[in-house]
Structure 1
């Protein structure tokens, strides 16, 4: 029997924050590795229609990252810095290079639910409600849902 996990994406009404919550059939260690191992990360991040290549990846406190996603000859580059990397939490910046002023501060929490399940909570703080709402209109929901579905599949087949 297969179950489809539900991803909750919420916009805070008082602060320009997007919160995402999803439960996975995987341990916190597996989810952490999927977010810090560049080969694994490139396999699941974003919509299924995009291919991602990692150009820089130093997943440690003080490290930085950059990846480029492409489709039909178009490229979309993203970059940021890892401010804190530890097994239960990652704090990083996130910037789409097409909007270099739109820097988000992201925090990811890996919450052990027991029985090999983990709740992933993500919070992205942007500098304005307009910026937040532009992210929400950008199609990010498709990328988040399709990416997390790929991650769930990787957890199920043991590659993550």
Structure 2
């Protein structure tokens, strides 16, 4: 099966938004569960070189989360609030605690393509073009692509 190897990452020229699109050999339900189940989320989020620990997770409308990614004794923590949780859509805030003023509003949408395939649409709205461009310069594409590759492997393995 030919799987999309990379995520499309686009910066909107008119608003400080980053848009991600990636196709998965997975159902919308599988992708939704991987984004809302803390045990699964910790297995795939971020680059291969990091391990993730969930400190707090309440994936429901009005709930919140905090997780810590670590490598070689160095830790990076993230937190946010789930504003809306539906089977086809997640709206949440996302803050890297190393930059507590840089809060992003994220929307994830799961588009059913049929035949067990789903297109994930993710959008992150940040407070400034400078903040958005800093995210893009941070090497986020490595974490996004490696994380989504782990997600695809996790879904494929669990389906087998």
Same fold by TM-score greater than 0.5 = yes
Q: Which residue of 1 aligns with 2:133?
A: 133
1:88 lines up with 2:100 in the alignment: no
Superposed, 1:72-151 pairs within 5 Å as: 72-151=72-151
User: What's the secondary structure of 1:127's corresponding residue?
Assistant: coil
State the Cα distance separating 1:158 from its structure 2 match.
Answer: 1.3
Residue segments in structure 1 that go unaligned for 5+ positions in a row: none
Misfit runs of 4+, over 3 Å: 1-4
Task: Please give the alpha-carbon distance, in whole angstroms, between the structure 2 residues aligned to 1:4 and 1:113.
Answer: 14
Q: Which residue of 1 aligns with 2:9?
A: 9
RMSD: 1.3
Q: Which residue of 2 aligns with 1:69?
A: 69
Task: Please give the alpha-carbon distance, in whole angstroms, between the structure 1 residues aligned to 2:17 and 2:4.
Answer: 26
Task: Please give the alpha-carbon distance, in whole angstroms, between the structure 2 residues aligned to 1:42 and 1:8.
Answer: 23
User: What's the secondary structure of 2:81's corresponding residue?
Assistant: strand
Tell me the alpha carbon deviations over residues 85-115 of structure 1, each in whole angstroms, 9 at most, x when there is no partner.
0000000000000000000000000010000
Aligned residues: 160
Cα pair 2:20 2:122 within 8 Å, conserved? yes
TM-score by length of 2: 0.97
Residue segments in structure 2 that go unaligned for 5+ positions in a row: none
Cα pair 1:109 1:120 within 8 Å, conserved? yes
Task: Please give the alpha-carbon distance, in whole angstroms, between the structure 2 residues aligned to 1:102 and 1:13.
Answer: 19
Task: Please give the alpha-carbon distance, in whole angstroms, between the structure 1 residues aligned to 2:7 and 2:126.
Answer: 20
Q: Which residue of 1 aligns with 2:49?
A: 49
Tell me the alpha carbon deviations over residues 59-102 of structure 1, each in whole angstroms, 9 at most, x when there is no partner.
00000000000000000000000000000000000000000000
Cα pair 2:3 2:23 within 8 Å, conserved? no
Q: Which residue of 1 aligns with 2:33?
A: 33
State the Cα distance separating 1:139 from its structure 2 match.
Answer: 1.0
